[in-house]
Amino acid sequence: METVYKLNVPNRLENLALIGEFLEKSMKAHDIDDCRIYEISTAVDEAAANVILYGFPDGRQEDVEIACTVSESSITVSIKDTGGPYDPTSAPAPDLSDDIENRHVGGLGVHFMKELMDEIGYEYKDNTETLTMVKYL
Amino acid sequence: MDVTTQNLESGACIVRISGRIDASNAGQLDARFNEVISSGRTRLAADMSGVVYISSGGLRVLLAAIKKVKPSGGDLRLFGLDPNVMKILQLSGFTKIFSTHATEAEAAAGL
């Protein structure tokens, strides 16, 4: 059996905290451990930030839909919006070197998503992009 | 997110950060670090004990700060990291760039 929670928020950075609170509340209702909650929330925060920061260069104000599905075996979070298209699954690997002078931070958000989640899928259809991330329990 | 600073007699500065650091407020943190560094304080220790979350945007700010202070012999050390926040630093390779400490005393020693 699975339970689906949904949240629609305007595409503004100030709503990232709201998304985090929504995810925490949804997962705590199913006794998901704090570590997993943190990992999933981090991955979603990075993905949502990318959507809000880069998905609407024309400045459109649109809603972003977050859906959190909790089942006995996994937690699936999808982010759906009319921005983009940007497929994070095809982003290049980040620079993880310890060379302070030349180190850049680009790509870390996608790196976190890939490292903290077990599956990532992206679809762009009918002017809507959907990023789906799964964490196995 | 809240940021306060405390200048030490040694000339070092403690930057105390609390709350959530994400894309919505990383710019404010960046501005605070720039204020401190512009005032001549380049030996810094960031009190991360109140930080509950840091995104890649927040990490970008920390990296920018250490890049500014290192060339003149300064440093930015981190202390009091929550285990979850530490995990993110490890995942990003930042534990190879920043020295991390359990306490303020350890971080400030020799700073």
Task: Identify the domain containing residue B67 by its residue range.
Answer: 2-108
* Span B27-57, pLDDT tens digits: 999 999 999 999 999 999 999 999 999 999 9
Percent of chain A with pLDDT over 70: 100
Q: Say whether the ipTM exceeds 0.85.
A: yes
Domain spans of chain A, in order of start: 3-136
Instruction: State the smallest CA–CA distance between residue A73 and chain B in angstroms.
Output: 23
* Span B55-99, pLDDT tens digits: 999 999 999 999 999 999 999 999 999 999 999 999 999 999 999
Q: CATH number, domain at B41? A: 3.30.750.24
User: Which amino acid is residue B93, in one-letter code?
Assistant: G
- Could you tell me which of A30, A38, A28 has the C-alpha nearest to residue A1? A30
Distance CA B41, CA A53 (A): 32
Q: How many domains does chain B have?
A: 1
Residues from chain B that touch A96, judged by Cβ atoms under 8 A, are 92-93
User: Is the full-model pTM beyond 0.90?
Assistant: yes
Chain A interface mutation, best of B90, B92, B94, B95, highest count of A Cβ atoms under 10 Å: B92
Judged against a pLDDT cut of 80, whether residue A106 lies above it is answered with no
Distance CA A53, CA A13 (A): 8
Beta bridge partner(s), residue A77? A68, A133
Report the pLDDT value the prediction gives residue B110, as an integer from 0 to 100: 86
| Residue B76, C-beta contacts closer than 8 angstroms, at least 6 positions apart | B44, B45, B46, B62, B65, B66, B69, B98
Class of domain A3-136: alpha beta
> Tokens 């709503």 appear where?
A15
Residues in chain B: 111
Report the pLDDT value the prediction gives residue B37, as an integer from 0 to 100: 97
Report the pLDDT value the prediction gives residue A94, as an integer from 0 to 100: 81
Q: Choose the closest CB to A53 out of B23, B70, B84.
A: B23
* Span A48-75, pLDDT tens digits: 999 999 999 999 999 999 999 999 999 9
